[in-house]
Amino acid sequence: MTQAYQLGTFVKTASPHIIEVLGTTKLDFVCIDAEHAPFDRATLDLMVLATRATHLKAFIRIAEVNPAVILSALDIGAAGILVPHVDSADDARNVVAMARYKGGARGYSSSPRFAGYGSLGMKEALRIGDEAQVICQIESDAAVKDAEAIAAVPGVGGLFVGRADLALSMGLDNPREPRVLEATRHVLAVARKAGIRAGMFVAGNAERDEFAALGADWFIVSSDQTLLRQGAQAIAHAA
């Protein structure tokens, strides 16, 4: 049976060797977490460069919604960006405009990696550039209420449920609270109905299977740091 979803993991360690190691697995992509981990522009460039040596696609969770930040992430060759705290359709339109040439405001240069370092013609580079995916994180009450409008914005490639921040926005401290799970189901259903990616972070395979049954099809499972710690702890327990 063909896998109905795509799997990746967060990368929070600033080393391209992590990407190289993950490239030996059957993961579909990595999401380099520039929001919560210490990545500068030069290190992000090396991380994305490493994905080019593997089968992995690179997504970057950007630190802020800023034209220069988005331009840099896409120029260095990321397949897409994961955008935190998209709370409204206006927020989504703003982000998409920063990420798009056609109908948008992304500045053009033929020299970056995404354009083959000048080896592609402008027409082809523009086409490739506008294929970059914009995945919007839904992580507030306001975003859940506006999820259908966000999903309908042209250029939005997916909705991604951020359950931890969503719980915090509801005054809760558990991402598995019934209200959070109800909101999660709603957002997944909205994304599926709109024909875009229905994404979320999960801790492991059990949650992946749980939410795949509810329509999620783009998973970030755990992180490089957690996977390393769990592997080491398993050895320590065995000893």
36 is catalytic: yes
Taking the domains of the chain in order of start, what are their residue ranges? Answer: 6-238
Q: Is the pLDDT of residue 4 over 90?
A: no
Query: Using 50, 70 and 90 to split pLDDT, how confident is the model at 2?
Result: very low
pTM (two decimals): 0.96
Residue 30: HSE in the Cβ half-sphere, 13 Å Cα cutoff: 30
> 3-class DSSP state for residue 127?
helix
Q: Give the pLDDT confidence of 144-198 residue by residue, as tens digits.
A: 999 999 999 999 999 999 999 999 999 999 999 999 999 999 999 999 999 999 9
Q: Is the pLDDT of residue 3 over 60?
A: no
Q: Is the pLDDT of residue 238 over 90?
A: no
The size of the chain, in residues, is 239
Neighbours of 206 (CB within 10 A): 9
To the nearest 10°, report the CA torsion of 217, 85, 151, 99. -100
Region of residue 116 (phi > 0: left; psi between -120 and 50: alpha; otherwise: beta)? left
Q: Give the pLDDT confidence of 63-105 residue by residue, as tens digits.
A: 999 999 999 999 999 999 999 999 999 999 999 999 999 999 9
Q: Is the pLDDT of residue 143 over 70?
A: yes
* Eight-class DSSP state of 170: T
Q: Which of 36, 55, 186, 237 is catalytic?
A: 36
- Domain 6-238, CATH among 3.40.50.300, 3.20.20.60, 3.30.43.10, 3.40.50.1970: 3.20.20.60
Neighbours of 152 (CB within 10 A): 13
> What's the pLDDT score for residue 1?
34
Q: Give the pLDDT confidence of 195-235 residue by residue, as tens digits.
A: 999 999 999 999 999 999 999 999 999 999 999 999 999 99
